[in-house]
Amino acid sequence: MKPNFQNTTNFQSSNANQPSVLEIRIPVPWGHIAGKWWGPTDKRPILIMHGWQDNCDSFNRLLPLMSQDVGFLAIDLPGHGYSSQIPDGFYYHNINYLILIQRLVDYFKWPQVSLMGHSLGARTSFLYTIMNPQKVDFLICLDGLKPLTDDEVINTNAKTISKFLQYENLRRQNTEPPAYTMEEIKQKMSSSLGGSVAYEHSHHLIERSVAPSKNQPGKYCFRRDPRLKVTELINWRQEDLVPGARRVRCPVFIAKAIGAPYYEDEKIFLDVVDALKESGNCEFHRLEGTHHLHLNNPEVLAELVKKFLRRYDKSDRSTGGIKGEMVPRQHKL
């Protein structure tokens, strides 16, 4: 029996005041990238990436509040949600996510790319922008911006690699991961990251995160790749990130949750913000909420983002709409 996830987002919205939603699959060499396409499908959308161990449904409460004039392509990153896991023996390195953005740009033949991301998705979007400043027409970062730096980078990377091999060995055993009741799943979702996800909104992340247990009827296992539990390898220096930020000329929107930590020295984060502000097109907002402010209380955030888009979304979007092969057969346009 299919569990009741209380998810109100269907393939096609029945509310005329909300954008339509299509479940999509984009082919990649190791399988597919899954996601949801919100709003107009006949023109280039804004590409959206979620945070670490989340999925594209974390935007379920924000995107219905956005303008219907532009589409939003929210994807599940590799190993997350319904997207394919990477092959055995490989690591979920942040470079892989940067390659993925370029792969999507090439697939759609986008002349430019508009980027929005939360946490890991924000860091990935920022890195792509400083590496390809001429290709990004604007950047929206939600409670995340720069990759973390570490004074103990050598020791940290050594521990990370060791932990990765442990999870890889567990995965290779091909045994079912621990199973939980739906209530236990909700509690786990809402207690992670210091209670970042409100319990009443945790169901938005659950449908793409779990699958029914094969061994324990009525219980569920997390479907995401266990190798994702290993944090990213630290390989970015502040001495490179600040000059990189100064290369950015596109408009930038940054929302920092007041109730969320910086996960590193605040000054290190703000030094990059200051470098972005030198272009004159950087907005930095401190907003009430936790790390998942876009899921828990999206209303104020939505108004600020819409204002930002009205001001800066000026590029041509006529090229790069949806492709028929992306839509599951039963949901063809």
Q: Residue with structure tokens 């950015």?
A: 248
Task: Specify the 3-state DSSP secondary structure of 289.
Answer: coil
Residue by residue, pLDDT tens for the chain (333 residues) are 344 444 333 334 435 566 799 999 999 999 999 999 999 999 999 999 999 999 999 999 999 999 889 999 999 999 999 999 999 989 998 999 999 999 999 999 999 999 999 999 999 999 999 999 999 999 999 999 999 988 888 898 999 999 999 888 888 887 888 999 999 999 999 988 889 999 999 999 999 999 999 999 999 999 999 899 888 888 889 999 999 999 999 999 999 999 999 989 999 999 999 999 998 899 999 999 999 999 999 999 999 999 999 999 999 999 999 999 999 765 544
Give the CATH superfamily of 21-150+236-321. Answer: Alpha/Beta hydrolase fold, catalytic domain (3.40.50.1820)
- 250 contact partners, CB below 8 Å, separation of at least 6: 129, 133, 136, 137, 138, 139, 281
Contact 122, 141 (CB under 8 A): yes
Closest CA to 323 of 67, 33, 125: 33
Query: What is the Cα gyration radius of the chain?
Result: 19
Please tell me the pTM assigned to this model: 0.92
Q: Which two tokens stand for residue 259?
A: 């109730």
Both tokens of 189, joined, read: 């979702």
Q: Active-site residue 119, yes or no?
A: yes
Of 59, 60, 104, nearest to 78 by C-alpha is 104
Dihedral (CA of 209, 164, 272, 315) sign: negative
Residue among 83, 114, 119, 125 flagged as catalytic: 119
The whole-number pLDDT of residue 255 equals 98
pLDDT for 194: 84
| β pairing state of 72-75 and 46-49 | parallel
Q: What are the boundaries of each domain within the chain?
A: 21-150+236-321
Are 277 and 252 in contact by the 8 Å Cβ rule? The answer is: no
